[in-house]
Chains A and B, each alone.
Chain A
């Protein structure tokens, strides 16, 4: 499988590709470029992705050839040599730990400045003990160590007792967030989870009223929000006071000529 297929492995609209593009743009900027053509940047990001995948694939295959599932440093060195070409002093004649491929990387780390990635990526914390398979006792007890880690657990068989009926609970009886049951299970009122601001809408023609004729535009919807007051009396007082945050939204229709002056 020497020749790589030309099919595009990285989807240009995908999230990992966008992150790769960002990282490659950082590297180009540190190399000296001020800006870049979009197609060139995407090509270079694609090259970076392919490089990563090619290294990974050849390291994984060399580990598999040796009968291991986890790759180690040796596999990576061999993969680097495989990808970048053999130089005098490579693994064929000398032990691989002193190969120039790894020596170059060592020199690079020593010489080059760190180029930080601009944004922090959200990390999904997947710990190695938690696998995608359900909790298996193998991780706890030691006597099942001969079973490979990646095999799923044997599914639990039922006892034979019919427990199906307890699933048929009425959906009204089920408690959901933000929903409170009032009265019997048949009637249900929904209440709000927390106190929210009261919002009022006033629809109609809001504008300057001059001699009963509205000037200054068409229909408007104004919305004002103020804090919720429990009592009616208090509400009236609230109205009189100027609301703290007065967000006025305007929706204006195009003025129809001939109707307003």
Chain B
């Protein structure tokens, strides 16, 4: 019984922390302007029956979608680079192809087929780090 009560209190503490953290986050969301404009998000939300007077939740949905599309784009970029690395002939070709990173249907379809899960290595910090690292790797030749 005591253990049950203690665990309940522990849960309540966690809840308060989470609530505080989330309300802080929602306040910080007003500073971060998502790439997808608010009006467009509101249009799609209204089209699907989502009703909310709170602008922060609209921004939350926009940010979640931006994160998802960013992850898909990063996966597609990795596929594109992997494909280019496999077709290297001589030095000049590779440097030319570096500038031609084009989002192609085949890379996009591969990226969309993989499940974009947060537990995988496509976590936000990792892929921002990875993007910087790959830039460096191409200059060292």
Contacts and interface: CB of A to CB of B under 8 A. Distances in A.
Genuine A/B complex: yes
Interface of A: 16, 19-20, 23-24, 26-28, 30-37, 39-41, 43-44, 47-49, 51-57, 59-60, 63, 69-73, 76, 80, 84-85, 87-88, 95, 97-98, 100-102, 104-109, 111-112, 114-117, 121, 123, 128
A115 B35 contact: yes
The secondary structure that dominates the A interface is helix
A97 to B, nearest CB: 4
Interface of B: 11, 14-15, 18-19, 21-22, 25-26, 28-29, 32-33, 35-37, 39-41, 43-45, 47-54, 57, 60-70, 72-74, 76-77, 80, 99-105, 107-108, 112, 115-119, 123-125, 128, 131
B35 A35 contact: no
B123 to A, nearest CB: 7
Given A34-B100, A108-B67, A121-B37, A76 B60 contact: yes
A19 B117 CA distance: 27
A244 B69 CA distance: 55
A105 B67 contact: yes
A84 B71 CA distance: 12
A20 B128 CA distance: 23
A52 B103 contact: no
B31 to A, nearest CB: 9
